[in-house]
Amino acid sequence: MGFTWHFGAVVLVLALVALVNAEDPYRFFDWNVTYGDIYPLGVRQRGILINGQFPGPEIYSVTNDNLIINVHNSLPEPFLITWSGVQQRRNSYQDGVYGTTCPIPPGKNFTYTLQMKDQIGSFYYFPSLAFHKAADWYKYDHKTLQTILDRGHRLPFPNAVLINGRGGNDTSFTVEQGKTYRLRISNVGLQNSLNFRIQGHQMKLVEVEGTHTVQTTYDSLDIHVGQSYSVLITADQAPQDYYIVTSTRFTSQVLTSTAVLHYSNSARQVSGPIPGGPTTQTGWSLSQARSIRTNLTASWT
């Protein structure tokens, strides 16, 4: 997945990158959606796979591309995928939510036609029916969660925060000394806001949900459910490994997951305390959201 990073419960991921292109090319995808075993929390669970993969495949696309995605539903129940944040101009029936798009019946297929006209940024996709989205970061099966909700109860507290579909603190990203990387960060969870930070590194925010921003630097970022950000980080620290940390916000019990930012010339494993972040403070989050909103620039229309 390169440096497309997705946080929270990463069921499925869509990344769109802006580049200028004279023509409007077509990119074709053939996806087979099945149930299969996944182990995001170390125990076997029933997950939803695309072409055998969990999280689902990344879509790399440039501005103005036409994406033709043939989705075969091999689940024993109806299925839909929605493309969060992608503008469906004059084709809302491609949005993939119940009400605008008919569910794909079991054993059938539907071909999405998405036009990335004038669009830049980082987006993600997820299944929009029947609580399929929850098929990952609880140890319960998503059918059990569905039943809990249907009986009028609240969702249980999640078991973990996943980073790129893994909850074991064992994901590692290798960077080269001196280089700058773009991280695409999405909170694809169901209910919890997350804080994201990297030990010893600052993040320069360059994109929020398909819009360029005035570039402001942050030590940590709050990412609410459904949000996607791009940040730049430069590997300009001493050559060693650093913690990448994400933790839940506004929860009395704080769930934390870590990954490793590994310098290719690293001389030392991660060390020191895991950097802390805001937990229940709301003012901090509001002022950050305000600074991001006021610094958004509409560089495309």
Contact positions vs ligand NAG (CB under 6 A): 32, 34, 70, 72, 74, 109-111, 167-169, 214, 216, 256-258, 274, 290-291, 294-295
Name the minimum Å distance from CB 125 to ligand NAG.
17
Judge contact between 228 and 122, C-beta under 8 A: yes
For residues 182 and 207, the answer to whether their CB atoms sit within 8 Å is no
Token pair in block for residue 90: 């004059």
Report yes or no: 182 and 232 within 8 Å, Cβ to Cβ: yes
C-alpha triplet 193, 112, 162: angle, nearest 5°:
25
Alpha carbon distance 108, 81 (integer Å): 14
Least separation in angstroms between residue 3's CB and ligand NAG is 22
**Residue 234 token pair:** 């430069």
For 110, the token pair is 């539907």
Dihedral sign for Cα 236, 297, 118, 31, please: positive
Beta carbon of residue 97, minimum distance to ligand NAG (angstroms, whole number)? 18
